Amino acid sequence: MPESIIRETHDKVGLIRINRPAAMNALNDEVIEGIGSALASFEADDDIGCIVLTGDSKAFAAGADIRAMKDFDYMAAYQGDFITRNWERLKTCRKPVIAAVAGYALGGGCELALMCDTIYAAENARFGLPEVKLGTLPGAGGTQRLPRAVGKAKAMDLCFTGRMMDAVEAERCGLVARIFPTEKLVDETIAIAQTIAGYSLPVLMMIKESVNRAFETSLAEGLLFERRTFHASFALEDQKEGMTAFLEKRTPKFRNR
């Protein structure tokens, strides 16, 4: 059986490809465990500064594997902590993670993309939370992260109807940061990820923590967190290097310290 997760390294970028094309990249335990272990290895690798998660040109992931969960009962879901173990690994990753979405990102697939730090979409991308059609509801954060990304009206519309939205609508409502031609999506995303990975990793981690704080706390507390983190950045050699390089009109050499 082919590996359901393909791991590639492109210079300073770690690429994770979901590879279950026969099932539209539906997310079963093997896929989710594969993503978790790829994330762990890229996070432990000092040479990696940014991680990209993608599928193939037809599907990022068409959701949790319906065949695998159809016969679950409450105790199996509860005791097994379904959708928690490994799924939550993305949340704890401290390096930047970009979702590059082509084709379907539905249900758990859409929720997986929502757990990433930003989403770049191919022109053929389709986003949706169709769980209502299956007699259940989004269970991997969709009812919480989607309204934070696109607002209540759009989130309710998508969750109630189960309809899909295309890349243009997704960008217009703030779910997606940029759209690329489908055949160029992965290369363009890797190129952006290389640029990001060229910056100071501790600064990227501070940015990630600070932006995420915006969703967890009040404005006053968030601003205080940001200010203290900003102050802390002056302890970094990379801050000295960045500002010195600007004044010397040269490219900075960040050393992640």
φ and ψ at residue 94, rounded to 5 degrees: -95, -15
Of 67 and 257, the one with the shorter C-beta distance to ligand HXC is 67
Q: Spot the catalytic one: 63, 111, 121, 142.
A: 111
Residue 114 binds to ligand HXC (criterion: CB under 6 A): no
The answer to the question of residue 62 lying near ligand HXC (CB under 6 A) is: yes
Is 64 noted as a catalytic residue in this protein?
A: yes
Residue 49 or 107 having the CB closest to ligand HXC: 107
Cα distance between residue 171 and residue 118, in whole Å:
11
| 198 catalytically annotated | no
Q: Does 24 bind ligand HXC (CB under 6 A)?
A: yes
Question: What is the rounded distance in angstroms from the CA atom of residue 103 to the CA atom of residue 61?
Answer: 8
Q: Is residue 245 near ligand HXC by the rule CB under 6 A?
A: no
CB of 36 vs ligand HXC, minimal distance in Å:
14
> Does the protein bind ligand HXC through residue 26 (CB under 6 A)?
yes
DSSP H helices, the chain, are 29-44, 66-69, 74-79, 89-92, 108-115, 142-150, 152-161, 167-172, 185-197, 201-213, 219-233, 237-247
Strand duo 178-180 + 118-122: pairing: parallel
Q: Which residue lies nearer to ligand HXC by CB, 111 or 171?
A: 111
Catalytic residue chosen out of the listed positions 23, 26, 59, 64: 64
Residue nearest ligand HXC, CB atom distance: 107
108 binds ligand HXC (CB under 6 A): yes
Query: Could you tell me which of 146, 51, 152, 157 has the C-alpha nearest to residue 105?
Result: 146
| Per-residue DSSP letter, 128 | E
Instruction: Look at the block and give the residue holding tokens 């060229």.
Output: 198
3-state secondary structure 39-99: HHHHHHCCCCCEEEEECCCCEEECCECHHHHCCCCHHHHHHCCCCCCCCCHHHHCCCCEEE
Cβ closest to ligand HXC, residue 66 vs residue 245: 66
Q: Which is nearer to ligand HXC, 93 or 114 (CB)?
A: 114
Q: Whole-number minimum distance, CB 111 to ligand HXC, in Å?
A: 6
Query: Rule CB under 6 A: which residues touch ligand HXC?
Result: 23-24, 26, 62-67, 83, 104, 106-108, 111, 130-131, 134, 138-140
Give catalytic residues, as residue numbers.
64, 108, 111, 131
